[in-house]
Structure 1
Amino acid sequence: MRKVVSFGIPCYNSANDMDHCIRSILEGAGHATDIEIIIVDDGSTDETASKADAWAARAPGLIRALHQPNGGHGIAVLAGLREATGIYYKVVDSDDWLDARALASMLSVLRGFLDRAERVDLFISNYVYEKVHEDKHVAINYRSALPVGRVFGWDAIGRFRPDQNLLMHSLCYRVDVLRKAALPLPAHTFYVDNIYAYVPLPHCDTIYYADIDLYRYFIGREGQSVNESVMIRRLDQQLRVTRIMMEAYRLYEDVAAPRLRSYMMGYFTMMMAICSVFTKLSDDATARVALACLWSDLKRRDARMYRRARYGVLGVSTNLPTSLGERITIGLYRAARRIFNFN
């Protein structure tokens, strides 16, 4: 049977979380035979591998287990994509889950595309920050930025607020789009979801937005990659990911659709701002050198992108000179974090 969607679940030492994730997909899909779940055991040292095999044995034809040496999140995402037989590909991290009713709605829409032979490159839905320890649920939707419930192109999108960037959690691409994009996801690197949510976009001509709260993003676990102290320690990886995004496109030459180009410029500017802020929060002197090098390379590579990223409101406010300027930048970041509820 033709598989409508392949769900890739990257797993590293996920034995405590993966059952909930897998069960949410199976039950939300009603154990339908036109989906598949690909569990990617990324060199785990706990019971992840045996659990993955047990799930595959329990639901043959629906669940497959892949095992590979540890390569990091991006390599696990690519492994699932390589093995996917579905028309669409959706990544669900092992400590997150999908809402059952929203998943049923998504599958109905995707099946409709296939039944009508209607090509849609990208399906977008909402996601919810599940701050379990704070008993908070913060839903991110795109109602003000995207047409709802119809197929559209990039010329129909509106302006995205700072909290409305399209993240991996909100995206379900066609498999052939992702393969064509040749995703440059580096090994042993966190934050590669930004590359996943950026590089394929110019390959998408048709988009559909469903206003459903599908993806439940668990946040608040100690050691999680978006924890502020962890982000400071892994600043080198944030800089690496941002450099890959910089090298992916000369936006004003490579991206024809003006509104998509504007959105991508905003996303890239946000990434440069994150690097700037966390460099100020870090005690690692080499980070400042690496950030200066990144800015210099951007200026040399694409002067227009550099000017937009460096001298717009976000670029100026996150790169204020002097020690007082640094304190102001950090204060602005703390205020934005409270307002928009990220990390």
Structure 2
Amino acid sequence: MNKILSIIVPSYNTEKYMNDCVGTMLDERTLDDVEILIVNDGSKDNTASLADALAEKYPNTVRHINKENGGHGSTINRGIAEATGKYLRVIDGDDWVDTEQFVEYIEALKNSDEDIIMTPFQHYYEADKGKDNVDISYPVGTYSFAEITDSVFKSYQIHSTTFKTETIRNIRKIREHCFYVDQEYVFYPLCYAKTVKILPNHVYQYRIGTQEQSVSMTNMVKNRKMHMSVIFDLIAFLSEESIDPTIRAFIVKRVGMLARRQIEIFLAMEDKSEGRSECKSYLKKLKEKSREVYDAMPGSRSRLFRFNSDLAYAVFYGR
């Protein structure tokens, strides 16, 4: 039977989350409609055996793809290559879906043909078990993506997006052995995708606050070169691809926010001298590679760093 949706589940040492993650997608009402691709990225725990058990129990729905470690991007690249569904989305192995919302979303996909499907999602805070909604500030319906860029500026994320598989197969390869590549995954299709449908279902449940997360500042300092690589990948994408001008401006603005985040990472380094040196080199390269992204970094702190990075460090550190 043809599947309406392929779900990539990137999994590295996710044994404690596996059943909770995949289990929320194994509803009797949708088993024939979805394909769940558990892409085990060389895990050292029991992720592989749990994935095998799920694939054995649900052979028409779950597939276990076992591969050598290559990072988040490699799991997405492999999942894109293996997917057979009309649509494709990513649910990370430590997250999950709201099952009732998921069932409604699958039904809506059956009547969809847009390049992108957007759904609101929820943050789940590990520390206090609280939740909040990340909504889409635009009515449910079908639009050209260019007409809604302002309204989805914050909500256009990996957690909210589903792509036509035939569309996303056209994108350039996502960087491997690297964190933060979800930004490449969501922006690369925008040189091909034209239409978007907004649905009301809060499908994705995004877990925040685990020590393993790459977005904690401690890990961002450790992995700062990876974050910087993604910024320059996106700048190359902007310079090499033909993109609708409105959508291009949207991407530039978002990459500008990533570029500002890189400054914040340097500021968080314990070795202030090293941080200052790396930041100065980074800003020089950024200005050379893309003046528009350099100028798009928001905020007064970014303006001061553009004016004089040494002065900015003196202001923020008194030295």
Tell me the TM-score normalized by structure 1.
Answer: 0.84
Conserved? CA contact 1:9–1:40, under 8 Å: yes
* Structure 2 Cα separation of the partners of residues 33 and 317 of structure 1: 56
Which amino acid is the alignment partner of residue 136 of structure 1?
A: G
Aligned residue runs from structure 1 range 5-154, under 5 A? 5-27=5-27, 30-113=29-112, 119-143=113-137, 146=138, 148-154=139-145
What whole-Å deviation, never above 9, does each CA across 1:98-117 have from its counterpart, x for those lacking one? Answer: 1112211211111012xxxx
3-state DSSP of counterpart to 2:20: helix
Q: Does 1:301 align with 2:295?
A: no
* Structure 2 Cα separation of the partners of residues 298 and 324 of structure 1: 21
* Structure 2 Cα separation of the partners of residues 203 and 313 of structure 1: 35
Q: Does 1:180 align with 2:180?
A: no
Conserved? CA contact 1:269–1:314, under 8 Å: no
Q: Which residue of 2 aligns with 1:254?
A: 242
1:273 pairs with 232, 235, 260, which one? Answer: 260
Q: Which residue of 1 aligns with 2:156?
A: 166
* Structure 1 Cα separation of the partners of residues 83 and 76 of structure 2: 11
Question: Any gaps of 5 or more consecutive residues in structure 2?
Answer: none
3-state DSSP of counterpart to 1:198: helix
* Structure 2 Cα separation of the partners of residues 290 and 317 of structure 1: 16
- Please give the root-mean-square deviation of Cα atoms over the aligned residues, in Å: 2.4
1:152 Cα offset (Å): 0.7
What whole-Å deviation, never above 9, does each CA across 1:269-309 have from its counterpart, x for those lacking one? Answer: 11001001111111355554444444333333333343333
Q: Which residue of 2 aligns with 1:333?
A: none
Q: Does 1:156 align with 2:147?
A: yes
Q: Which residue of 2 aligns with 1:337?
A: none
2:316 pairs with 326, 338, 342, which one? Answer: 326
Conserved? CA contact 2:149–2:250, under 8 Å: no
Conserved? CA contact 1:73–1:187, under 8 Å: yes
What whole-Å deviation, never above 9, does each CA across 1:21-53 have from its counterpart, x for those lacking one? Answer: 1111112x6243121101111111111111111
* Structure 2 Cα separation of the partners of residues 135 and 318 of structure 1: 38
Shift of the 324–7 alpha-carbon distance from structure 1 to 2, 3 Å rule, reads same
Aligned residue runs from structure 1 range 277-296, under 5 A? 277-284=264-271, 288-296=276-284
Which amino acid is the alignment partner of residue 177 of structure 1?
A: T
* Structure 1 Cα separation of the partners of residues 178 and 286 of structure 2: 21
3-state DSSP of counterpart to 1:46: coil
Shift of the 161–81 alpha-carbon distance from structure 1 to 2, 3 Å rule, reads closer
Q: Does 1:263 align with 2:262?
A: no
3-state DSSP of counterpart to 2:256: helix
* Structure 2 Cα separation of the partners of residues 324 and 160 of structure 1: 38
Conserved? CA contact 2:266–2:278, under 8 Å: no
1:218 pairs with 196, 201, 207, which one? Answer: 207
Q: Which residue of 2 aligns with 1:315?
A: 302
1:322 Cα offset (Å): 3.3
Question: Any gaps of 5 or more consecutive residues in structure 1?
Answer: 114-118, 329-343
3-state DSSP of counterpart to 2:218: helix
3-state DSSP of counterpart to 1:190: coil
Q: Does 1:245 align with 2:234?
A: yes
Q: Which residue of 2 aligns with 1:233?
A: 222
Tell me the TM-score normalized by structure 2.
Answer: 0.90
Conserved? CA contact 1:154–1:257, under 8 Å: no
Q: Which residue of 2 aligns with 1:341?
A: none
What whole-Å deviation, never above 9, does each CA across 1:42-84 have from its counterpart, x for those lacking one? Answer: 1111111111111111011111111111111110111111110
Conserved? CA contact 1:273–1:318, under 8 Å: no
* Structure 2 Cα separation of the partners of residues 291 and 214 of structure 1: 38
Which stretch has the larger CA shift, 299-308 or 201-210?
299-308
Q: Percent identity?
A: 25
Conserved? CA contact 1:150–1:208, under 8 Å: yes
